[in-house]
A = this chain, B = another copy of it.
Amino acid sequence: MRTKEFKNIVTKYKTVFFDAFGVLKNHKGIIPGIDKTFDFLDDHGINYFVLTNDASRGPEALAEGYRSRGIKSITPDKIISSGMLARDWLALKIKEGTVAYLGTRQSAHYIETAGLDTLPISQINLDDVEHIKCLVFLDDEGFDWNHDINKVINLLRKRNMPVVVANTDINYPVSKNDIAVAVGGLSDMVEEILGKYFIRFGKPDAQMFMFAYEKACEVKPLRRDEILMVGDTLFTDIIGGNKFGMDTALVLSGNTLPEMAKVRITSSGIIPNYVCPSVLINGEF
């Protein structure tokens, strides 16, 4: 697989969309030297955003995760999370009333900032559900799976309501070797059991890229092909970026191993414009 240095390709673009995990950070934390990448982009007048399938915390808390680890460039306005799409959707479609959720107290931020009342699934009384307007899957933590997943299923059998999944990912890494079921995995199981159709937000769905594109255009208007989408996963970042009409770069610092990149691209038919070892900027600039 012929790879290119990130710094040699990124200068062709006006804006960069970064995936977070596998690109800017890994199981050990922020990838060392990544601050230099943001300095390089700032120097060249290239704007950037972080697109992350995450509804566990609001954009301020997500940005604080970078700031506290020494990356000051990632301010809350640079963060585009799938939770933000859920929040905007709730504001447009639900407007008022009570929204039930699966997740931590912190994840309920996205419901509260839409101006709605929140109700954790554990506190629902199944004999009194008429006031619940919508259910949102926010996070895999903060509730008792044995009890509350069955409760969600029976809530949705009792009362027909829209269901939003604020993170499409089915798993996420928790250490060098281990992964955990993400809320998107739990929601797939519930959807299969009910035979109902949920509304999902997150990469690779076009709505995530559209949301980020609109934010980017607020800074300065630009065409889609003036944006570079950078990610470590063909099946979310690259296929989604390609479909949206952006150029795409696959980096080999995350879950696509260097020795498998070529086989994966050929067998999937998902073709990035570039393959880069990582987004690190080596040498002087």
Contact = CB atoms under 8 A, between A and B. Distances in A.
Interface of A: 88-89, 92-93, 144-146, 149-150, 153-154, 156-158, 160-163, 170-171, 177-181, 185-186, 188-189, 192-199, 205-207, 210, 223-225, 235, 239, 242-245, 265-271
A161 B271 contact: yes
Contact of A170 (B178, B193, B269): B193
A177 B158 contact: yes
Contact of A154 (B145, B162, B177, B245): B177
Contacts of A195: 267-268
Chain copies in the assembly? 4
Give the dominant DSSP class at A's interface.
helix
A31 B198 CA distance: 33
22 contacts: A92-B245, A144-B146, A145-B149, A146-B146, A150-B178, A156-B269, A158-B177, A161-B271, A170-B192, A170-B193, A179-B193, A181-B189, A185-B189, A188-B189, A188-B192, A194-B269, A195-B267, A197-B269, A199-B242, A206-B206, A206-B207, A207-B244
A183 to B, nearest CB: 12
A110 to B, nearest CB: 15
A197 B157 contact: no
